[in-house]
Amino acid sequence: MDALPTENTLSQINELIRLDTTSRDSNLGLIDLVATRLKAVGLDYTLIHNAEGTKANLLATIPALDGGTTGGIVLSGHTDVVPVDGQDWTSDPFEPQIRDGRLYGRGTCDMKAFIGVILARLPELVAAKLDEPIHLAFSYDEEIGCVGAVSLVERITELGLSPRGAVVGEPSSMRAIRGHKSMNVFKVDFHGVAAHSSLPGDGLNAISYATGFARFVDEVSAELRQGPRDEAFVEPTTTMNVNRIDGGIAVNTIPSLCTVFFEYRSLASVDREALTGRLRAEARRLEAQMQQVHPAGRVEFTPMAGAPGLDTAADEQIVGLSASWGAIAVDEKVTYGTEAGLFAAAGIPAVVCGPGDIAQAHAPDEFIELSQIAACERFIDRMIRSLSR
């Protein structure tokens, strides 16, 4: 029979699930809970709020036995979950339920089980005679494009913590993932001029230019399909697509506004700035064309979210360390993005390794196998032992 997690771990996870931290809402309830747990074992923490003060990242360091707080390992996780809107759930998504060896609930897999395991191990973490510190980095707004982790990683750098590695506990079925693509989302607003559709000469058709831009995105996308390639990915090339277009108000009105949303996910070898620059230049070219027809023509190019890719070398310490703690070594790279790229970009080598299967993330009836939670417990226990004297 598969190993089962402890009652304590399950109750920590359940408490986290019961706090609805859908990204559009505040995560402060959950942050309060984590803060309470940290205080209970005598640990300090730092909160890094968003501009509105409605959300926060939490950073805490369990110092080494000699009091040292620099170096060491980061355990990182995001506190938010995706919405359940429009999803058909068998049980209340915010009331965790065990059925057939699985724990069901929003965030069970992505990724409150990982955080729950850490909370359950806090007493062991502070009691351990650590040779080097362990840092806990819990972020907000990961699910809307790794937003919160930016200031969290910045703070780690500002504080000079210089960890030697990070484990990002996104669901990977406890495999140590070394690579994923970057994620980049853009919104491009085409502002034309409205007119009666019988008098197109009086207007400027925003949709016409927006569709021109969408075709350009497809052209660049086709070019990217030619290479570079990385066969470790299911989709071996950089991908780019238009995923949404909003425009027009009526069948007899020249549309004054059309918005194109596109994204790309690039290989580490692709220069993101240069690639984004090409798209930006096309938007400017179309804007100039629009202005030749009507001076009110305008194109607004807005990056909405972006996170760097991950490409950790197989010989980085964190890869060997995580394997020694029980992570399954793999060469394949994953299709989903994580905060690990932000750590890597800040000079902190990172792997993605957490309990649960990404296939269940974001889905109705999200679940995690109890055996995966137990595997994560073993991983954390081994990590504590290996970093202790």
CA distance 178 to 332: 8
CA distance 306 to 329: 28
- Taking the least distance from each CB to Zn ion, the nearer of 170 and 263 is 170
**C-beta nearest to Zn ion: residue:** 110
Closest CA to 102 of 359, 381, 379: 359
Task: Check residue 290 and report its DSSP letter.
Answer: H
- Choices 1-9, 108-116, 190-198, 288-296; region in contact with Zn ion by CB under 5 A: 108-116
- Taking the least distance from each CB to Zn ion, the nearer of 110 and 377 is 110
CA distance 238 to 249: 35
- Choices 104-112, 133-141, 178-186, 214-222; region in contact with Zn ion by CB under 5 A: 104-112
Q: How far is the CB of 58 from Zn ion (least distance, A)?
A: 16
Q: How far is the CB of 383 from Zn ion (least distance, A)?
A: 20
x/- string (CB under 5 A) for Zn ion, residues 154-173? ----------------x---
Q: What angle do CA 349, 316, 176 make, to 5 degrees?
A: 75
Token pair listed for 208: 């016409």
- Taking the least distance from each CB to Zn ion, the nearer of 168 and 383 is 168
CA distance 229 to 365: 35
Q: How far is the CB of 69 from Zn ion (least distance, A)?
A: 27
Phi first, then psi: what are they for 212, rounded to 5°? Answer: -60, -40
Task: Check residue 91 and report its DSSP letter.
Answer: S
Q: How far is the CB of 361 from Zn ion (least distance, A)?
A: 6
Query: How many of the chain's residues bind Zn ion (CB under 5 A)?
Result: 3
- Choices 109-117, 153-161, 252-260, 276-284; region in contact with Zn ion by CB under 5 A: 109-117
Q: How far is the CB of 116 from Zn ion (least distance, A)?
A: 14
- Taking the least distance from each CB to Zn ion, the nearer of 10 and 146 is 146
Q: How far is the CB of 57 from Zn ion (least distance, A)?
A: 15
x/- string (CB under 5 A) for Zn ion, residues 262-291? ------------------------------
Closest CA to 31 of 115, 113, 111, 95: 115
What string of DSSP letters covers 126-149? HHS-BSS-EEEEEES--TTTS-HH
Which residues belong to the active site? 80, 142
- Taking the least distance from each CB to Zn ion, the nearer of 125 and 358 is 358
CA distance 6 to 29: 24
189 binds Zn ion (CB under 5 A): no
- Choices 5-13, 102-110, 182-190, 205-213; region in contact with Zn ion by CB under 5 A: 102-110
- Taking the least distance from each CB to Zn ion, the nearer of 14 and 21 is 21
- Taking the least distance from each CB to Zn ion, the nearer of 110 and 132 is 110
> From the CB of residue 286, how many other CB atoms can be counted at a distance below 10 Å?
20
The contacts of residue 169 (CB under 8 Å, 6+ apart) are 75, 76, 77, 111, 114, 115, 352, 353, 354, 355, 376
Helices 7-18 and 28-40: angle between axes, nearest 10 degrees? 150
Sign of the alpha-carbon dihedral angle for 124, 129, 130, 134 = positive
Name which position in 14, 108, 110, 242 contacts Zn ion (CB under 5 A). Answer: 110
Q: How far is the CB of 378 from Zn ion (least distance, A)?
A: 21
Task: Check residue 38 and report its DSSP letter.
Answer: H
CA distance 147 to 140: 7
3-state secondary structure of 299: strand
Interface residue list for Zn ion (CB under 5 A):
110-111, 170
